[in-house]
Amino acid sequence: MVAALSRFERRIPFASPDRLEHLQRKRLRDLVDHAFRTVPFYRDLKRDGLDPASIRSAEDIARLPMIDAGALVDDPMRFVCDEFRTSGREVFKTSGSSSGLRKPIFWDHGSLLLRAARAERDRVVIARLAEERWTSMIVREFLTNEKRRFVARRFGIDTDHHQRLLILPADFSSRTQRTIYSERTTIPRRPVHYNHLPPSVPFEVAAAHLRAIRPRVVFSFGSYVDQFFHYLESTDSDVPLPKLWVYLGDRLSPGGREIAEERGCRLYSVYGAMEAGTIGFQCEHRDGFHLNTDLCIVRIVDKDGEELPPGHVGSVTISPLDNRAMVLLNYNVGDLGAISTTPCACGRTLPRLSRFEGRQSEYVRLGDGREIGSITIEAMFSRELRRTIQARLEQDEPGHLRWRVVAAAGETPDALALALKSRAAKALGVDTRVEVTFSDHIPLTEAGKFVRAVHRQPVANAKANRNLER
């Protein structure tokens, strides 16, 4: 059944807009009826007079109150369906990289299984970008495992060249493998081997694994690949790179992307959240994320929750339609982005999140009152940051920033601090005071992520930032 579903899923990104809307409406209707019957938060809304029949299309989502990480932290069980409180579901924890708080997310077993088939949408692109031509659809569709192995031997295909390296936390790796790469479904297996490393291992160890395994595809968080390439640059190491480096969870800095491109390593990303599964995925053009709008409604809203037209940057709010265990409609996921105004050259009809501006929690305030994202600041400092391995932006108070950096091998702290400060004066203006602090190592969070911007206001944002420094 899953194999048939995979074929169906592979066609969805190219379906007509009418077909996509039909699927979206049907799933929304089913989910709303289910939620207003069985999920406390939505039952309360009904009691207060909200009619579930009034929520039938993406536009109607605006009738629902916007929820965010705070609501989930305060009382996650309000969003859990009665039926799945104690069984029939898995409970995952978010990484806490946006709000600093790890929230429990419930997923029912049925939707987790379907997710495996849905991953076909991006898996097709990954195979293509990794140049795994022999896993063409025809081979994958019609051959049994034995025949596939015969074909592989017959054509001298060396399965050693289809190694994967996952540099992700253990719980994340198994979940990634299960839900994104379908290893436990009836989809015919490819002779692919998965190797695992936790993101906490030193970069030398990861480099040694790349030399020994020579993986065709590597998976990691964006911050990991970013710092790994800074490390390679710093040590001038000659390491065989994979055909494709797939990053998820967070992003690369502009400088890290530049180094990867110079070294000829292709980068690819999927946009997901524990609350939603895969929200969007890049296509072969790798220009924005095609949004799985039939599975998760994405709206871009302003500060008042009003929906913005394509081309305008606002908060990304999601409404995952395929999870029956936990229902989160009109959920502010903490990212900023804009929907593309033009269709993609690849022919996929799924709309694109074209400008991804990072997380709201990564914005800092300059001395002249401007709020600016760490992604923009990293771009301004990209030349100086190439002389570091890790770099974090810290804000003690508005107008006062600190770069906490791990210097690259051979860099003298004085010279690097001077370079960072003189760039700051040029790029950020004289009203913003910038200091530089050197560390031997900046630790990752418990979930294996790197926090690139830290706020230290003691009162106002204390709750949101409570755990950022773990």
Q: Is residue 136 exposed (0-12), middle (13-18) or buried (19+ Cβ within 10 Å)?
A: exposed
CB nearer to Zn ion: give 229 or 271: 271
CB nearer to Zn ion: give 106 or 281: 281
Report the site for Zn ion in 133-192 (rule: CB under 5 A): none
> Between 256 and 285, how does the x/- string for binding to Zn ion read (CB under 5 A)?
---------------------------x--
Distance (Å, rounded) from C-alpha 238 to C-alpha 380? 28
User: Tokens in use for 302?
Assistant: 């302003």
Which residues are paired to 434 by β-bridges? 401
CB nearer to Zn ion: give 344 or 408: 344
User: Tokens in use for 240?
Assistant: 């065989």
Q: Tell me the site size for Zn ion, rule CB under 5 A.
A: 4
Distance (Å, rounded) from C-alpha 409 to C-alpha 235? 6
Smallest distance, Å, CB 7 to Zn ion?
A: 20
User: Tokens in use for 251?
Assistant: 């992003």
CB nearer to Zn ion: give 206 or 344: 344
Asked if 344 touches Zn ion (CB under 5 A), the answer is yes
Asked if 353 touches Zn ion (CB under 5 A), the answer is no
Asked if 15 touches Zn ion (CB under 5 A), the answer is no
Smallest distance, Å, CB 129 to Zn ion?
A: 12
Smallest distance, Å, CB 346 to Zn ion?
A: 3
User: Tokens in use for 412?
Assistant: 């003298």
Distance (Å, rounded) from C-alpha 329 to C-alpha 26? 15
Other C-beta atoms closer than 10 Å to the C-beta of 149 total 15
Smallest distance, Å, CB 280 to Zn ion?
A: 11
> Between 299 and 338, how does the x/- string for binding to Zn ion read (CB under 5 A)?
----------------------------------------
Residue 61 near residue 329 (C-beta atoms within 8 A) = yes
Measured CA to CA in angstroms, residue 352 lies from 20, 58, 340 at distances of 14, 16, 5
> Which of 2, 3, 308, 346 forms a contact with Zn ion (CB under 5 A)?
346
CB nearer to Zn ion: give 15 or 346: 346
CB nearer to Zn ion: give 152 or 283: 283
Helix, strand, coil percentages for the chain (3-state, nearest 5):
40, 25, 35
Residues that bind Zn ion (CB under 5 A): 283, 344, 346, 348
